[in-house]
């Protein structure tokens, strides 16, 4: 069983966002008096002004915090650099065995039939045909040894191979001016990411782990591997993906985890 603490996470986000907001606002203000006023008033009370949510009861606190989290998404989106690479590591640094994690235990790992599997692609793309694994393996393959960071308090270095996601998006004629790419998984997991991260050079439609076809526990037939994002943003067992301008959240994101989830 997993212990999930959405409030702890939101509190961390709220703190970080407050600090960012204070700095940003302070920079915009020339007059020292106004600056001090804002720094002193952007407290919990100030938050209700900032978010337009009263903080008189739990539901409203919840609403205020979720607004802050969406504000935090915007800031993270603004400071995200499409060309800045996450650190890479050597073979010797790979964590063995690499940990398994899901919202269920290892005894419930999903087994996907390779022969009948097709990746469904919908939304703002020119080519909506469903992809077999063989077709994806025929595309140019990349490898990376990067660190996966899980908010539950562990991180591990692994080696993934597959199709650079930006290559795939361009190949299917995706509208890369769209805001989001969403994913639905074979289990009940789902998530969505911002387009700049989808196009990041280290974002990989991973088909292999450590030189072997992705094992079931790591998300066979494929996962989206993003070393610039936290573990929960990396969907395993991808069944369908869609390009959209409509926000669609995610399994943990809808329960309070920050949506941008940069690492």
Ligand X SMILES: Nc1nc2c(c(=O)[nH]1)N[C@H]1C(S)=C(S)[C@@H](COP(=O)(O)O)O[C@H]1N2
- Rule CB under 6 A: which residues touch ligand X? 99-103, 150, 185, 187, 189, 217-218, 231-232, 234-237
Rounded to the nearest whole angstrom, what is the least distance from the CB of residue 195 to ligand X in the complex? 20
C-beta of 189 vs 260, nearer to ligand X: 189
DSSP 94: -
Q: Which of 244, 144, 239 is nearest to 194 (CA)?
A: 244
- Distance between CA 18 and CA 68 in Å, rounded? 9
Q: Which of 121, 117, 227 is nearest to 171 (CA)?
A: 121
Helices assigned H by DSSP within 100-192: 133-137, 165-171
C-beta of 99 vs 196, nearer to ligand X: 99
Q: Which of 160, 183, 190, 232 binds Mo ion (CB under 5 A)?
A: 232
Question: Does 231 sit near Mo ion (CB under 5 A)?
Answer: yes
Residue 215 interaction partner, one of Mo ion, ligand X, none, beta carbon < 5-8 Å per kind:
none
How many CA atoms are closer than 13 Å to the CA of 261, on its beta-carbon side?
Answer: 28
Rounded to the nearest whole angstrom, what is the least distance from the CB of residue 215 to ligand X in the complex? 9
Question: If 0-12 CB within 10 Å is exposed, 13-18 middle and 19+ buried, where does residue 209 land?
Answer: buried
The span of 28-36, 53-61, 112-120, 224-232 binding Mo ion (CB under 5 A) equals 224-232
C-beta of 77 vs 99, nearer to ligand X: 99
Residue 189 interaction partner, one of Mo ion, ligand X, none, beta carbon < 5-8 Å per kind:
ligand X
Residue 216 interaction partner, one of ligand X, Mo ion, none, beta carbon < 5-8 Å per kind:
none
Question: Does 172 sit near Mo ion (CB under 5 A)?
Answer: no
Question: Does 218 sit near Mo ion (CB under 5 A)?
Answer: no
216 and 100 in contact (C-beta within 8 Å)? Answer: no
203 and 225 in contact (C-beta within 8 Å)? Answer: yes
C-beta of 119 vs 185, nearer to ligand X: 185
- Distance between CA 87 and CA 147 in Å, rounded? 8
Number of H helices, E strands in the chain: 7, 9
Question: Does 162 sit near Mo ion (CB under 5 A)?
Answer: no
In this structure, the number of other CB atoms found within 10 A of the CB of residue 90 comes to 8
The span of 32-40, 63-71, 79-87, 142-150 binding Mo ion (CB under 5 A) equals 142-150
Q: Which of 150, 156, 172, 240 binds Mo ion (CB under 5 A)?
A: 150
């Amino acid at each position: 069983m997993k212990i999930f603490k959405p409030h702890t996470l939101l509190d961390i986000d709220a703190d970080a966002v407050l600090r960012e907001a204070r700095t940003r606002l302070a920079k915009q203000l020339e007059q020292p008096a106004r600056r001090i006023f804002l720094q002193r008033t952007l407290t919990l009370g100030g938050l209700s002004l900032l978010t337009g949510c009263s903080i008189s009861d739990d539901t409203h606190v919840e609403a205020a915090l979720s607004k802050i989290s969406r504000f935090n998404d915007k800031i993270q989106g603004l400071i995200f650099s499409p060309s800045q690479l996450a650190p890479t590591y050597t073979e010797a640094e790979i964590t063995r065995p690499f940990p398994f994690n899901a919202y269920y235990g290892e005894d419930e790992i999903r087994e996907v039939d390779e022969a009948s599997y097709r990746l469904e692609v919908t939304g703002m793309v020119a080519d909506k045909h469903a992809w077999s694994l063989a077709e994806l393996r025929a595309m140019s393959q990349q490898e990376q040894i990067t660190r996966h960071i899980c908010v539950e308090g562990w991180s591990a270095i692994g080696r993934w191979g597959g199709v650079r996601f930006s290559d795939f998006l361009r190949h299917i004629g995706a509208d890369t001016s769209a805001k989001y790419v969403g994913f639905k998984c074979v289990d009940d997991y789902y998530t969505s990411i911002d387009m700049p991260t989808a196009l990041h050079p280290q974002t990989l439609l991973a088909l292999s782990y450590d030189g072997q076809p992705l094992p079931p526990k790591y998300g066979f037939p494929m996962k989206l591997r993003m070393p610039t994002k936290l573990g929960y943003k990396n969907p395993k067992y991808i069944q369908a993906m869609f390009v959209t301008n409509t926000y669609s959240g995610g399994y943990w994101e809808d329960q309070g985890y920050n949506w941008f989830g940069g690492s």
